[in-house]
A = this chain, B = another copy of it.
C-alpha cells in the first residue's frame, strides 16, 4: 500500500512510459505528414464521441477495480477481527479451568502461524520458515511438504479445540463458538484466494486497453487540422490521462500481486501478532516494520 505521495508519479510512469513515447512519436509524425503532404482530415466530433464512450467504460473499469481492492481489504479486516475474537475466546474460556499455559499459548501461536501462512500463500511465497517459531516442531515437520498450509493449520487448531472439549477444559457451548470463529476464518481465507485466482474478466480488460490505443491513434487526426502545432502537447496530455487511468485500474485490481499498491498483508499479519501477544500478557512485543520509502507491504 502506497502511503507517500513522492513515489506515485514514478510508479505509474515506470509502467506507461513506453506506450506514452510510442504515441507521442506517432502524434508528431502525423503532424508533419499532414503539414507537408497537405492532407486534411478532421474528425473532431467522432473523436469526442469515442472519448466519451471510453470515459464511461473507464468509469466502470476503475470502479470495479476499486471494489476488488476494497473487498480484499475488508477480507483482511475480517481476519484481524476474527483473530482477536479467537484469542479472546481461547483466553477467557479457559480462564476458570486448569489449562497448561503452554497449551493455550500453543493454540494462539498456531493461529499466528495461520495468518502468516495465509499472507504468504496469497503472494505465492513459501512460508515454511516463517511459521517455524509459532508451531511445535513435529507439527512443523508434518506441514513442511504439504499442499495447503493455512487450511491444515485451521484443521490442527480445531483438533486442539476438540481435545480441550474432550478433556473438559471448555464446554460444548464454547467449542461451538470456537468452531464458528474457525468457519469465519475459513470464509476469509477462501474469499482472498478467490480474488487472487480470478482475474478481472480478460475480455473486459483487454478490450478497454485496445480501445485506449485505438483512441490514441485516432486522436491526432481529429485535432491537428483544427489546432495546428499546439495539438501535439494536447494530444500527448490526453493520451497520458487515459493511459494513467488504465494503469491505475491494473495496479488496483490485483490486490495480492506483491506490488506497491497491494493490500499490506505483511504489516497486517504483524499487527495481529502484536495484538494477540499483548492479549496473552506478553510484555516483550515485536516491533512493527515501518513503511519503507512510503510503501507498506
Contacts and interface: CB of A to CB of B under 8 A. Distances in A.
A201 B252 contact: yes
A186 B234 CA distance: 52
Contacts of A57: 55, 59, 62, 245
B202 A8 contact: yes
A50 interface: yes
Interface string A31-60: 000000000011111111111110111111
A156 B73 CA distance: 28
Contacts of A223: 43, 45-46
Given A41-B227, A66-B201, A186 B53 contact: no
Contact of A62 (B60, B73, B180): B60
B241 A211 contact: yes
B60 A63 contact: yes
Given A201-B252, A203-B8, A158 B92 contact: yes
Contacts of A56: 55-56, 58-59
Contacts of A201: 2, 66, 69, 248, 252, 261
Contacts of A144: none
B166 A96 contact: yes
Contacts of A74: 191, 194
Given A152-B278, A177-B179, A230-B41, A64 B64 contact: no
Contacts of A20: none
B173 A204 contact: no
A151 interface: yes
Contacts of A22: none
A258 interface: no
Contacts of A274: 147
Contacts of A84: 151, 154, 186, 190
B278 A88 contact: no
A102 interface: no
Given A52-B49, A55-B52, A186-B81, A146 B278 contact: yes
21 contacts: A2-B202, A45-B48, A46-B238, A48-B49, A52-B55, A55-B57, A63-B64, A74-B191, A85-B182, A85-B186, A88-B158, A146-B278, A147-B275, A151-B278, A171-B172, A172-B172, A172-B173, A176-B176, A176-B177, A203-B251, A204-B248
Given A84-B151, A84-B186, 5 more contacts: A41-B227, A59-B59, A73-B194, A204-B248, A218-B237
